[in-house]
Structure 1
């Protein structure tokens, strides 16, 4: 795998419609509603968009708008890694914290929410690899 890089970000909002409108008018991002991460209280509303055009040579990254979960909930960047479990160990060894341990997003991969030594929130993302074709 190449050097870990940001592949996704989440923008929390008190008013999802207002936030979608802001980013659409500002950057032209079109949000599409998908089923969000399951929570204990039920699934959350999750609006995803792509920044850039697939196949255009532009850098394409996904982002999402979601309901703010707590007052200090800030934008979270997701960094793609080979193994969330291995990076959780590295984070704790380096003085960071794992706030939400490795959690599956069915059919897509796994994430963990962490904080660095300065109490900044970021997330790890491990993409689920498609099964190897059988010959």
Structure 2
């Protein structure tokens, strides 16, 4: 069953948003090499157990909202199903070098969500 693996937070000013979330939730964001103004973190529970991954970066479109990503075995298998069920593919499968691949869709209520496929190599 697909689970939530990542939450992407778009921001007008990533440094300002980074400071906000670091102070609010004590998340520690780091900039991976080669990703520019994009920061990664991982939420942990009260005992320090790892939780969902977090990303924070420059807003790509004026209407871009926080997007939850679900881990799936194959994005290619899910995209036709999204459309068959009345959703839309907003961004087709795109590789994320060194990590996996992603796609962004909307559901029947126009809510954005992402599909994530982890590299297995």
User: Could you tell me how far apart the structure 2 residues matched to 1:25 and 1:106 are?
Assistant: 30
Aligned to 2:31, the other structure's residue is in SS state strand
Bigger CA radius of gyration: 1
User: Could you tell me how far apart the structure 2 residues matched to 1:13 and 1:129 are?
Assistant: 30
Q: Who is 2:65 aligned against?
A: 74
Pairing 1:52–2:44 present: yes
Shift of 1:10: 0.7
Shift of 1:57: 6.3
5+ long unaligned stretches in structure 2: none
Shift of 1:110: 1.1
Q: Who is 1:87 aligned against?
A: 78
Shift of 1:89: 1.1
Shift of 1:107: 2.2
Q: Does the 8 Å CA contact 2:83/2:89 hold for their aligned counterparts? A: yes
Q: What RMSD in Å do the two structures reach over aligned CA positions?
A: 1.5
Structure-1-length-normalised TM-score: 0.82
Find 1:121's aligned residue among 109, 112, 119: 112
Structure-2-length-normalised TM-score: 0.91
User: Could you tell me how far apart the structure 2 residues matched to 1:24 and 1:129 are?
Assistant: 31
Within 5 A, what are the aligned runs for 1:1-135?
Answer: 3-34=1-32, 35-36=34-35, 44-52=36-44, 58-130=49-121
Shift of 1:58: 2.5
Aligned to 1:24, the other structure's residue is in SS state helix
Give a deviation string over 1:70-96, Cα, whole Å, max 9, x none: 211100111000110000011011010
Give a deviation string over 1:104-128, Cα, whole Å, max 9, x none: 1122111111011111111000111
